[in-house]
A and B are shown apart, each in its own frame.
Chain A
Amino acid sequence: MRFIFKTDYEQDIRLFRHGGQRFWYGVLAVLLLLAPWWAGEYVMSQLHFILIYSIVGFGLMMLTGFTGQVSLGHAAFLAVGAYTEALLQAAGVPFVISIGCAALFTAVLGLIVGLPALRLKGIYLTIATLAFNVIVEEIIARWHSLTGGNEGKHLKPVQILGWKLESDAEFYYLCLVLTVICCLACVNLLRSPTGRAFVAIRDSEVSASCMGVHLAKYKTIAFAFSAALTGIGGALYAHKLAFISPEQFTLFQSIELITIVILGGIGFLHGAVLGAAFIIVLPQLISIAKGWLPEGLVPAGMQAVVFGVILVLVIIFEPLGLYGRWLKIRAWFELFPFYRKGMFRRQKSYMKSERLR
């Protein structure tokens, strides 16, 4: 068990709480930096996806996990980021500017979507974002002159200041750097008054506004910030696939993105990374499992069933997701003989109608 004695206010806002954290994050950083040497081509490609999904996961976590606004329309932001990047690249805009534009443009779009969010609560907001997703998808498919419609768009490899990132390793470092930047941005934002306001809105809108949090302002900021991160993720996603078309940004993509947040652990930035890794690795595990089972026993719907079952089981038995499981394991070791079963139990709650408010 570790006790942290606070002797200084600075300690509260330090990036690392104690030496142990510094050590383990250092180990992680070294492992990730050396990845091109220990990982094969296939693993590298999976790492790309994990990093890209982590960025999107951060964005969604800020909105859903910390501000409490559930969005089923993030695939639309992903699409807008990806298409902005593709179009700007085709127009010859350098990568550093085009990815900034992708982030900015999706942020503006997020702002626009965020505006009705001020009037809508809970499930209505979710449905509105769902409608937004369907409409954006249809616009992309139909606006042939701009997006190429269903034939999609091709992208060339990234080029930064005349340096072409063609190999896997180079693109990996680009993703890694952007992921770390996004992660630090989130951590920093959460330590600031804005981040505190987000969490206050999530926990109770009424009390937040009583404490002087401007609901409209902070909800819109949350939407814009989340959309911007998703836009960056979308730009990288477009480069990773080198070919984008509307059917990659359907409602199912949105559902997959929200499951990153749910499976990883809602309300923890670590959860976004864990969830992203899980979502990417799961199809591989399923295809490995298929290899073990006899032929004919594994039909096409297997993946959907496993995905659904895992989602349901996690929500019922592990409401805090993968990161919650890790917290429990850590608590067990820290308190070794004294861990009790009920320590993380959900409080019993009764639902009250929101309609009669």
Chain B
Amino acid sequence: MAGVSLGCVYALVALGFVLIYKATETVNFAQGDLMMLGAFFALTASVMMGWPYWATILFAITVMAVVGMLIERIVLRPVLGQPAFTVVMITIGVGYVMRGVVTMIPGWGTDTHQIATPFAEAIWNVGGVVLPVQQLGVIAMTAALCAVLYLFFRFSRLGVAMQATSQNQLAAYYMGIPVRRVNMMIWGLSAGVAAFAGILLAPATFIHSNMGFIGLKAFPAAVLGGFGSVPGAIVGGLIIGVVEALAGYYLPEGFKDVAAYVVLLVVLMVRPSGIFGETARKKV
């Protein structure tokens, strides 16, 4: 159960990767740091301003969406269309900046913090099985968000435009898609999802400036599910979460931290496109 709920958080961070990968074919190494920043905004809203939990979530997501768009506009627009690795290095740099800035802001700093959740400590007893409501809540919220995102990419005009942009920027331009604006929106969306993941993770690991490193665990999740596949990210995240929990339980100490990466290497060697990877061929 703990594995599944942690897996949900991995899945959400992986979802952030996937969204940006889908639209811009690059990987955002700062995703974990976006999550951390989102959690800190939630902290500000709930502890310092005393807002209720739901308002906190909305606030953090909105603020982070704006932050995501600003990042895209300021640092990524100038390198639009450059090789993927250029963008990766920029996101690594952005991650450094965010981690540094958080420690500088008074009230955030380098300490660990906690936010109150409505379903802390409560426990449901269903037919003899004890289920912590906290973890159920995480799972339910993840599922809802995924459904919305899946429908968005499948049916809405904007979602389809985002996919078109990812496949061929030039052709997307010709079809009248405002590629730059689409990219900006996808960054906002991805940062919002990251903030959501941060809030869900907060009760489990507390909020501190290095919580973004969990983003590194989401790589295996994203690769496992196949980069560029929304359901893949969710399944991948769940698998990684469960594998990690099982490895921590059955294998000697130390395997828990590397289990995800071992899975990652095996997947990359056996099936680089992941479980749900698209195996479409280019038609000539």
Task: Determine which residue in B24, B84, B96, B98 has the highest number of CB atoms from chain A within 10 A of its CB, and name it.
Answer: B96
| Chain B: interface residue total (CB-CB under 8 A) | 58
Pick the contact of B223: A119, A127, A135, A354 (CB < 8 A).
Answer: A127
Tell me whether A124 and B223 are in contact (CB under 8 A): yes
CB distance from B275 to the nearest CB of A (A): 15
B46 contacts A by Cβ under 8 Å: no
Known interface pairs A131-B261, A305-B96, A353-B167; A122-B254 also in contact (CB < 8 Å): no
B272 contacts A299, C-beta separation under 8 Å: no
Quick one: CB contact mask for A304-324 with B, threshold 8 Å, 1 for yes?
Answer: 111111111001100100000
Residues of B within 8 A of A198 (CB): none
A124 — which chain B residues lie within 8 A by C-beta?
Answer: 223, 227, 268, 272
Which single member of A131, A259, A300, A349 contacts B82 (CB below 8 Å)? A349
Contacts of A141 in B (CB 8 A): 254
**Which stretch of B101-109, B118-126, B144-152, B197-205 is in the interface?**
B101-109
Determine whether B78 belongs to the interface, using a CB cutoff of 8 Å to chain A.
yes
Closest to B85 in A: A70
Question: Which of these binds chain A: B1-9, B48-56, B86-94?
Answer: B86-94
Q: How many residues of A contact B (CB 8 A)?
A: 51
How many residue pairs at the A-B interface have CB separations less than 8 Å? 160
CB distance from A109 to the nearest CB of B (A): 14
How far apart are the CA atoms of A141 and B78 in the complex, in Å? 41
B262 touches A120 (CB 8 A): no
Q: What's the dominant secondary structure at chain B's contact region?
A: helix
Contact partners of A134 in chain B: CB under 8 A: 216, 257-258, 261
Hey, which chain A residues are within 8 Å of B265, CB to CB?
116, 128, 131-132, 135
**Chain A residue with the shortest CB-CB distance to B78:** A316
Within 8 A of B (CB), among A118-176: 119-120, 122-124, 126-128, 130-132, 134-135, 138, 141-142
Residues from chain A with Cβ under 8 Å of B264 in the complex: 127-128, 131
Contact yes or no, A119 B269, CB < 8 A:
yes
> B179's closest neighbor in chain A, by CB?
A350
Q: Which residue of B lies closest to A136 (CB)?
A: B258
Closest B residue to A115 by CB, please name it. Answer: B269
Fill in one digit per residue for B259-281: 1 if any A CB lies within 8 Å of its CB, else 0. 00110110011001000001011
Measured CB to CB, the closest approach of chain B to A154, in angstroms, equals 23
B202-219 residues with Cβ-Cβ distance < 8 A to A are 209, 216, 219
Enumerate chain B residues within 8 angstroms of A346, measured Cβ to Cβ. Answer: 82
| Contact with B93, one of A116, A142, A315 (Cβ below 8 angstroms) | A315
A321 to B97, CA, bound (A): 20
CA distance in complex: A134, B258 (Å):
7
Minimum CB–CB distance from A262 to chain B (whole Å) comes to: 6
Name the contact of A351 in the complex, choosing from B25, B216, B281 (C-beta under 8 A).
B25
Q: Given contacts A123-B26, A128-B268, A349-B81, are A312 and B75 in contact (CB under 8 A)?
A: yes
The answer to whether the Cβ of B31 comes within 8 Å of any Cβ in the partner chain is no
Chain B residues with CB under 8 Å of chain A are: 24-27, 75, 78-82, 84-86, 88-90, 92-104, 110, 166-170, 173, 209, 216, 219-220, 223, 227-228, 253-254, 257-258, 261-262, 264-265, 268-269, 272, 278, 280-282
A-B contact pairs, 11 of them (CB 8 A): A70-B85, A116-B269, A130-B219, A134-B216, A135-B258, A301-B99, A301-B102, A303-B100, A305-B97, A351-B81, A351-B84
